[in-house]
Chain A
């Protein structure tokens, strides 16, 4: 799944994003091209190398008078794309607030705090509060597995774990069931429990979760709060995928 293995033919195509000219290779999405050019587009459900999903909508951009998700939209030469605009960032902040209030994101009690992409996104967008009334949904916790735990309260349904398991680990540990606001992450095992799945600690699926929904047990506080990834840097300085890659030794390019 590494992009280096199969470099598409170079063609002198470019589009502009917020006035900056960005080159792209045939078949690249706006997101791929922008990240390759070092331009940050906010994203939560995207991870280079995995099939683009297009569900979180944080990566929304405007193309002329049209709108698109940059992680799923192929780049086209000459396009004029707006990305880092006050209006788009405000809409992104509202979406981030939606993700916070739909789940139960009590950061002070969460092991992921400081390393969490959702939280870092909220910082990046200057979100001070969830704004909407909390849904306080009750979701199941699965602590059955010896080394990995699943706290659905914090799941944002990005399906990164679903795709990582299928596309990289060659397994099929996770799926999303149900619909609408009751949609939930399920484990593909007869009991529905992680312990009965073939998830292993070295699987990418065990590490890719951008939030504190899939956690590795017994390592939570090795790095103290205040010294974690996003305590030291902003999310737009470091793509979240780099964090995961650093952690599991997956490299890209």
Chain B
């Protein structure tokens, strides 16, 4: 039996969703009988090949996030936005309350404990978007798994449905935004 191929990535997130995914503990072993991982921070594969499912944690805060998201979208049949940040920007989107300039000045010029104040301008660094955006504003998203983070049961529920070829339906008791 060929395994379902899954890619995962963390954009502007905290890896909390990935950590929660791993929290499924021994159930992971069973899951791995059915799935294998492509690009993922879990195995450190850097680029995505053709996949069945993409799990995206985190929203879009910079140009690099956009490139990665597009790569994952282009290679995955089904894309799932995982967690509050992917779905509506989450905690990183709290910076949208302020202008980007104000954020950078506070972090790199005026903030407490700043030494050698200067805003980084190295061409190696991904440039920041003026606001943090949810991923569905840039690519088509097939399913959403909310939570901050979603529980391991949430992951199992959505993946279980997808593995069985069903539309994922998150049971009400697993639906939460926090």
Contact = CB atoms under 8 A, between A and B. Distances in A.
Mostly, the A contact residues are loop
A131 B88 CA distance: 9
A134 B97 contact: no
A123 B178 contact: no
B177 to A, nearest CB: 4
Contact of B144 (A110, A114, A129, A138): A129
B88 A225 contact: no
Interface residues of A, number: 27
Contact of B97 (A105, A123, A128, A153): A153
Given A128-B146, A129-B144, A105 B178 contact: no
Given A107-B177, A108-B177, A136-B96, A234 B172 contact: yes
Given A106-B88, A107-B177, A108-B90, A129 B97 contact: no
A119 B176 CA distance: 8
Mostly, the B contact residues are mixed
A89 to B, nearest CB: 13
Interface of A: 100-101, 104-110, 113-114, 119, 122-123, 126, 128-131, 133-134, 136, 138, 153, 225, 231, 234
Identify the interface centre among A105, A130, A133, A134: most chain B CB within 10 Å of its CB: A134
A106 B89 contact: yes
A129 B81 contact: yes
A129 B178 contact: no
Interface string B109-149: 00000000000000000000001011011000101111010
B137 A133 contact: yes
B76 to A, nearest CB: 18
B175 interface: yes
Nearest to B146: A128
Given A108-B177, A134-B133, A129 B170 contact: no
A133 B89 CA distance: 11
A106 B175 contact: no
Contacts of B143: 128
